[in-house]
Amino acid sequence: MKLAEIGEFALIAAIKEMTAEGEGVIKGIGDDVAVLRPSPGKVFLVTTDLLLEKVHFRLELTDPYRLGRKAVAVNLSDIAACGGTPTAFLVSLTIPAETEVAFVQALYQGMLEQSQEFKVSLVGGDTSRGNGLLISITLIGEAEEGAIIYREGARKGDLIFVTGSLGDAALGLEMLKQGKRDGGPVQRHLAPLPRVKEGQAIARQSLATAMIDISDGLVADLGHIVETSKVGAKIWLSRLPISEEYRKEVEGYSTDPYALALSGGEDYELLFTSAPEKERAVGKLAEELGIPIQAIGEVVDASAGVRVIEEGGKEYPLKQKGHDHFR
């Protein structure tokens, strides 16, 4: 059955049937506005991201369930990057009228399952007919005002840390383009894992002076931190956290073994700066969380910009800094 056969209001009713109102939701889907109850002593956090067909994804390379999970995950990652707690989200959807209802149900099932893992409620949105698929999500979160971590705040002498591993998602996309449909990198691209609990722990322990999630690539996103903080950065090439599967597969998809890790994007790992005296505390947190958190560089004078340094001290040539929607 197609959307054109059931109409917009039946679709909205079906979506509402799939949802459950969580804690703090006074009124969810079905009215002109959603009504939320903020936690005492907290401020609201609001972020939005959109996924556009043929720009951010190709339907022949994914499925609606994992696409739904990813649409929510990339927003959760923004809340994670400031150490906040996500609470509710809204979805605006543009989609062709000839789309099968089952496709939309699977899309929302993915969104709801990803959000429910973090106790986040779907509270509203909008739908419209269009020539292609566009998913726009607005995510609401909260945090104590004094505990929020911003991109600004890195200081000369700070160490630069990153969670997890780099380059897998970009490698996964290249693998998908060449017909491979399984493996760790493919999964990392199709269904990234937002580091929400990691971001909260970093904020709770006051470990970061600045933080961002890696969506456009390590070099590009580190560039945002150094620009707003008015500092520079050196990345130590030999310290990049690269997975075994990446090392094994990358030569078949890139002539430069480091390019995807440095500039590929969509890792959705947390990149943060921290005072050197907190390195041991960061290491202890990594053990507690059961994930690697690697020191990959240092914050330097602003005149340096962002530089990647090889083991012998030579500067590594960057062919591309990262993703830019208009370039």
For residues 163 and 106, state if they share a domain: no
For residues 98 and 39, state if they share a domain: yes
Residue 326 has a pLDDT of 45
> Pick from 147, 172, 189: which residue ends a domain?
147
324 domain residue, yes or no: no
For residues 225 and 113, state if they share a domain: no
Q: What is the pLDDT of residues 126-185, one digit of tens each?
A: 999 999 999 999 999 999 999 999 999 999 999 999 999 999 999 999 999 999 988 999
The larger pLDDT score, comparing residue 20 to residue 147, is at: 147
326 domain residue, yes or no: no
For residues 183 and 115, state if they share a domain: no
Residue 297 to residue 238: CA distance in whole angstroms: 10
List the 306-309 sheet strands across, edge first: 210-213, 270-274, 159-163, 293-300, 232-236, 306-309
Rounded mean pLDDT, 269-280? 98
62 domain residue, yes or no: yes
Q: Are 160 and 296 in contact (CB under 8 A)?
A: yes
Range of the domain at 196: 159-309
For residues 142 and 176, state if they share a domain: no
For residues 45 and 163, state if they share a domain: no
For residues 172 and 275, state if they share a domain: yes
CATH code for the domain in which residue 88 is found = 3.30.1330.10
Name the domain count of the chain: 2
Q: For residue 314, what pLDDT band results from cuts at 50, 70 and 90?
A: very high
For residues 235 and 173, state if they share a domain: yes
CATH code for the domain in which residue 193 is found = 3.90.650.10
315 domain residue, yes or no: no
Q: What percent of the chain has pLDDT over 90?
A: 86
The larger pLDDT score, comparing residue 55 to residue 285, is at: 285
Radius of gyration of the chain (CA): 20
Vertex 125, ends 121 and 129: CA angle to 5°? 140
For the four alpha carbons of 243, 244, 247 and 249, in that order, the dihedral sign comes to negative
For residues 132 and 194, state if they share a domain: no
Residue 281 clears pLDDT 90, i.e. is over it? yes
For residues 196 and 106, state if they share a domain: no
3-state secondary structure 210-242: EEEECCCCHHHHHHHHHHHHCCEEEEEHHHCCC
- Beta-carbon contacts of residue 258 (< 8 Å; ≥ 6 apart): 167, 237, 240, 316
128 domain residue, yes or no: yes
153 domain residue, yes or no: no
For residues 163 and 143, state if they share a domain: no
30 domain residue, yes or no: yes
Q: Phi and psi dihedrals of 30, rounded to 5?
A: 125, -5
Residue 323 has a pLDDT of 58
Give the bridge partners for 95, in sequence order: 129
Q: Phi and psi dihedrals of 130, rounded to 5?
A: -155, 175
Residue 322 has a pLDDT of 64
What are the CA-CA distances from residue 47 to residues 11, 75, 179, 273 (Å)? 25, 7, 34, 22
> Pick from 147, 167, 202: which residue ends a domain?
147
Q: For residue 5, what pLDDT band results from cuts at 50, 70 and 90?
A: confident
> Pick from 147, 179, 211: which residue ends a domain?
147
What are the CA-CA distances from residue 21 to residues 27, 29, 34, 192, 302 (Å)? 8, 9, 11, 25, 47
For residues 171 and 110, state if they share a domain: no
Summary mean pLDDT of the chain: 94
319 domain residue, yes or no: no
Q: How many CA atoms lie within 13 A of 207 on its CB side?
A: 28
